[in-house]
Amino acid sequence: MIAYCEVSAFTDTPGHGNRAGVVLDAGHLTRQDMQSLAAMLDAPETVFVLGHADGLARVRYFTPTQEVDFCG
């Protein structure tokens, strides 16, 4: 089981703005796992947090069809 949430970015009103998927504990997932989950969530972008240290997070971004360098 993989825990995830959906957020409404760029708005103060839930359900408005840009929908995004967020997976906080993704360090154990393969690239294919991330792509499959992003396709299942079908949000414009899904961010996978791979880990963090010294106040910085390591992340990867996926659309439903491909990995992208940056989103937002």
Res 28 pLDDT > 90: yes
Which amino acid does the sequence have at 68? V
Does the active-site annotation cover 6?
no
pLDDT at residue 70 above 90? no
Rg (CA), the chain: 12
Full 3-state SS string of 16-62: CCEEEEEECCCCCCCHHHHHHHHHHHCCCEEEEEEEEECCEEEEEEE
Q: What is the CATH number of the domain that holds 36?
A: 3.10.310.10
Q: Which of 45, 47, 48, 61 does the annotation list as catalytic? A: 45
- State the distance between the two ends of the chain, measured CA to CA, in whole angstroms: 27
Indicate if the pLDDT at residue 39 is higher than 80: yes
**Structural domain of 44:** 5-68
Total domain count for the chain?
Answer: 1
